[in-house]
Structure 1
Amino acid sequence: MTRATVLVVDDHPVVRDGVSLLLRSDPCLRIAGSAESGRAAIQRVAELRPDLILLDLRLPDMLAPEVIAELRRVHPAARIVVFTAHGDHQGVLAALDSGAQGCLLKDVAGTDLVAALRRVLRGERVVDPRILPDAGQRSDALARSGLTRREYEVLRLAAQGQTNPEIAESTGLARNTVKTYLQSALHKLGARNRVEAIGKASEAGLL
């Protein structure tokens, strides 16, 4: 029987070791390796070509959506499951929109983790019901709005009260690029300013 290979990406060794221990007992899954950062994950995926990547939502060097986009470019066949301790974190939706096939909370029981990863490997999308219960609706709303992932991400950070320079620092974008994305989002939402855009995005179920 061919065992599916899994790469565990987390900056905490205890999490990497814990997941490895949980999956070691399953005959269908095999730990191919681990990585402690987004850049290390991209390098290891290129080397190991794992079937599934269990990816921490909060890494020290890159935003999860950017890591996911790069992982998909390097190894498009891999399934990606986001692993997080923060069930209400808005970054979960951005990660799912970037191409992750699932999202699980770190307190998931070992048997549930194995079952969820098996489902993802079968082609299912698996999201812990405690995480953004309306994620599916929000994803549909995003599609209807016409906003790109970048426009949505910039608008989401603006809704959290971040200024353009702060958004630029959070996303690694140039300030002028942030301004361009924000203006484009305003135009698509039919808003005259960021306050109105945030209000309209909330009414549409985007925030």
Structure 2
Amino acid sequence: MTLQILIADDHDMVRETIAMFLDADGATNTVAASDLSEALEKIRAEGPFDLVLLDYTMPGMKGLDGLQIALEANGGKPVGLISGTATRLIAERALEMGAIGFLPKTLPAKSLVNAVRFMAAGETYAPVNFMSGKDSPEETDFEKALSDREKQVLRGLMSAKSNKEIARDLDLQEVTIKLHVKSLCRKLDAKNRTDAAMIARDAGFV
């Protein structure tokens, strides 16, 4: 029986490479999408798929929100994440939400193909080295650029809290929070606080 697999990633090369390895033995048929809305259209038109693979940072994902939407759209069939930037924490949260697996883009091709078959068969897959933190840096480059206080303020922005609420949570003056928001917008090249929160979410910051 041929496995129907949807690969959604905004990098053509990643999609094509995975598809090439999977289609090599004729046991799978891969369909490609370049963002979440295209993936959802294909699930509606051609699905449910035996496995849907979503790139964590492609357009439309908004962090793990996209995973939730795809899980519902694919009618209970497996949905997994692939990512070159997501941290172990994100992988853990994805699995808790019901993802069938998590594939770092650093996986060798052979392991990748095996992992995809595993997930399509309904088995949860997450590389031990990655989940144990051996292959995962404690901080992403995104986080390294921010101070601890800026990270706290950014989490407040991601929860849609006002400066006043963030100030109260962190036991700081509201004017201090304003300065941190300004500094965050500058560092993240964000137009405003909402934009900063979206940039952080897309970067996998939690």
TM-based fold match above 0.5:
yes
**Uncovered stretches (5+) of structure 2, i.e. residues with no partner:** 134-148, 172-205
Query: Once the two structures are aligned, what percentage of the paired residues are identical?
Result: 21
Aligned residues of 1:87 and 1:130 also touching (Cα < 8 A)? no
Aligned residues of 1:42 and 1:67 also touching (Cα < 8 A)? no
Residue number among 33, 36, 41 corresponding to 1:35 in the alignment: 33
Question: What secondary structure, in the 3-state scheme, does the structure 2 residue paired with 1:60 have?
Answer: coil
In the alignment, what sits opposite 1:57? 56
In the alignment, what sits opposite 2:116? 117
The alpha carbon displacement at 1:13 in A equals 0.9
Aligned residues of 2:61 and 2:67 also touching (Cα < 8 A)? no
**Uncovered stretches (5+) of structure 1, i.e. residues with no partner:** 135-157, 169-173, 183-191, 196-206
1:11-63, CA deviations, whole angstroms, 9 ceiling, x for partnerless residues? Answer: 111111111111111332211x2111122211111112111011111122222
In the alignment, what sits opposite 1:147? none
Cα distance in 2, alignment partners of residues 120 and 57 from structure 1: 17
1:47-103, CA deviations, whole angstroms, 9 ceiling, x for partnerless residues? Answer: 121110111111222224211211122222321121111363532223222221101
Q: Give the alignment's TM-score, normalised by structure 1.
A: 0.63
Aligned residues of 1:57 and 1:92 also touching (Cα < 8 A)? no
In the alignment of these two chains, the number of paired residues is 154
Distance 1:57 1:10, change over 3 A: same
Aligned residues of 2:60 and 2:66 also touching (Cα < 8 A)? no
2:69 is equivalent to residue 78 of structure 1 = no
Cα distance in 2, alignment partners of residues 159 and 38 from structure 1: 30
The alpha carbon displacement at 1:164 in A equals 6.0
Q: Which has the larger radius of gyration?
A: 2
- State the structure with bigger RCO (CA 8 A, min sep 6), 1 or 2: 2
Aligned-residue CA RMSD (Å): 3.0
Cα distance in 1, alignment partners of residues 100 and 112 from structure 2: 14
Distance 1:40 1:194, change over 3 A: farther
Structure 1 segments (4+ residues) deviating >4 Å: 192-195
Residue number among 158, 164, 168 corresponding to 1:167 in the alignment: 158
Q: Give the alignment's TM-score, normalised by structure 2.
A: 0.64
